[in-house]
Amino acid sequence: MTLIDGKQTAADIKKEIAAEVEKMVAQGKRRPHLAAILVGHDGGSETYVASKVKACRECGFESSLLRFEDNITEAELLKAVDDLNNNPEVDGFIVQLPLPRHIDEQRIIEAVNPAKDVDGFHPINVGKLSIGLPGFRSATPAGIIELLRRYHIPTRGKHCVVIGRSNIVGKPVAQLMLHKGDVGDATVTICHSASENLSEIVRQADIIIAAVGRPGFVTADMVKDGATVIDVGTTRVPDATRKSGFRLSGDVDFESVAPKCAYITPVPGGVGPMTICSLMLNTMQAARQRNA
Ligand code: GUN
């Protein structure tokens, strides 16, 4: 069994990005600049945004964090998005989700200029991904593909079972695994909460991508010997032994599943660090396009 080290892979990629940034700067170009909008004080969102700002520093990017209180109106938030769309100093930006309930999330996503949508959430970028055109790819799926690429895990003709059908992970990663390419060309099945015989289907998988958000959902009896298992779950479960009061739990029952696998990602330290890394790659792509 090989443990897929997302933390190390992400560190390697950030070093590669930082080297490219220094080259850009030496040529007199501006550093890539990522902005983030954070509304309210949700603990998870605070942590994610702080990690994104830290990753920007590691890559040599400029970053800006725009904070707003929970009571911001939708009109005010749309104005903040529009300002970033029109700010020539900003290459790309994200609006951290979830947003307060009085704000229509989809409306905000669709207000972002697709050319600055480094989260890849705008329907234009989702559509481009779906038909294999270049565009910004949602960060977690792109990170998973990069891990498979860097670990030289064969995908061509293999059966990939994705568990979960979210717009951010399940659907886009299934599309990417389906596309022709060095990583992809797989036979793809998507399972979800209404799937009958889910265990039976997952047992046929050469590659399992678990993105259901249910700790320990994938158990050893659902995994074929020699399978590759990618665990996207990052559910916070209470843990009194931790200073934070919680730990992250994956969708895979790691202890029982790992011994059966050819490759497996841990939680934490697997897909998570790659997600932020993909955001940095997307920002780099936005900056390259600005310089082109
Ligand atoms: N909330 C959870 N994941 C994400 C993400 O990838 N991007 C944004 N903007 N918000 C999130």
pLDDT digits (tens, 9 = 90+) for 21-67: 999 999 999 999 999 999 999 998 999 999 999 999 999 999 999 99
Tell me whether the omega of the peptide bond preceding residue 98 falls within 30 degrees of 0, making it cis.
Answer: yes
Q: How far is CA 213 from CA 16, 139, 207, 210, 232, in A?
A: 31, 17, 18, 8, 8
Averaged pLDDT score across all residues of the chain:
97
**Ligand 1: residue whose CA is nearest its atom 1:** 97
**Ligand 1: residue whose CA is nearest its atom 3:** 97
Residue 292, pLDDT > 90, answer no
Instruction: Verify whether ligand 1 is closer than 6 Å to residue 183 (CB atom).
Output: no
Structure tokens at 126: 């989702």
**Ligand 1: residue whose CA is nearest its atom 2:** 97
Burial 245-281 (b: 16+ CB within 10 A, else e): eeebbbbbbbeebbebbbbbbbbebbbbbbbbbbbbb
Residue 18, pLDDT > 90, answer yes
Task: Report CA(26)–ligand 1 centroid distance (Å).
Answer: 32
Please say whether the beta carbons of 33 and 91 come within 8 A: yes
Quick one: which of 153, 81, 174, 80 has its CA closest to 119? 81
Task: Report CA(139)–ligand 1 centroid distance (Å).
Answer: 9
What is the rounded distance in angstroms from the CA atom of residue 222 to the CA atom of residue 199?
Answer: 5
| Tokens 């916070």 sit on residue | 236
Please say whether the beta carbons of 70 and 45 come within 8 A: no
Q: Which of 96, 171, 231, 285 is catalytic?
A: 96
Instruction: Verify whether ligand 1 is closer than 6 Å to residue 94 (CB atom).
Output: yes
Q: In the prediction, which pLDDT does 290 show?
A: 83
**Given pLDDT bands bounded at 50, 70 and 90, which one contains residue 222?**
very high
Q: What is the DSSP string of 236-273?
A: EEE-TTSTTSEEEE-SB-HHHHGGG-SEE--SSSSHHH
Best residue among 47, 96, 136, 279 to mutate for probing ligand 1, ranked by most atoms within 8 Å of CB:
96
Q: Which of 14, 52, 116, 171 is catalytic?
A: 52
Please say whether the beta carbons of 22 and 290 come within 8 A: no
Q: Which of 5, 91, 117, 119 is catalytic?
A: 119
**pLDDT digit string, tens, across residues 156-206:** 999 999 999 999 999 999 999 999 999 999 999 999 999 999 999 999 999
Q: In the prediction, which pLDDT does 51 show?
A: 95
pTM score: 0.95
What is the rounded distance in angstroms from the CA atom of residue 250 to the CA atom of residue 216?
Answer: 6
Q: In the prediction, which pLDDT does 157 show?
A: 98
Instruction: Verify whether ligand 1 is closer than 6 Å to residue 139 (CB atom).
Output: yes
**pLDDT digit string, tens, across residues 79-90:** 999 999 999 999
Best residue among 122, 168, 173, 282 to mutate for probing ligand 1, ranked by most atoms within 8 Å of CB:
168
Quick one: which of 292, 290, 222, 287 has its CA closest to 63? 287
**Given pLDDT bands bounded at 50, 70 and 90, which one contains residue 291?**
confident
What's the mean pLDDT in 144-148? 98
Best residue among 52, 119, 173 to mutate for probing ligand 1, ranked by most atoms within 8 Å of CB:
119
Active-site annotation holds for 96: yes
Structural Rg of the chain based on CA atoms: 19
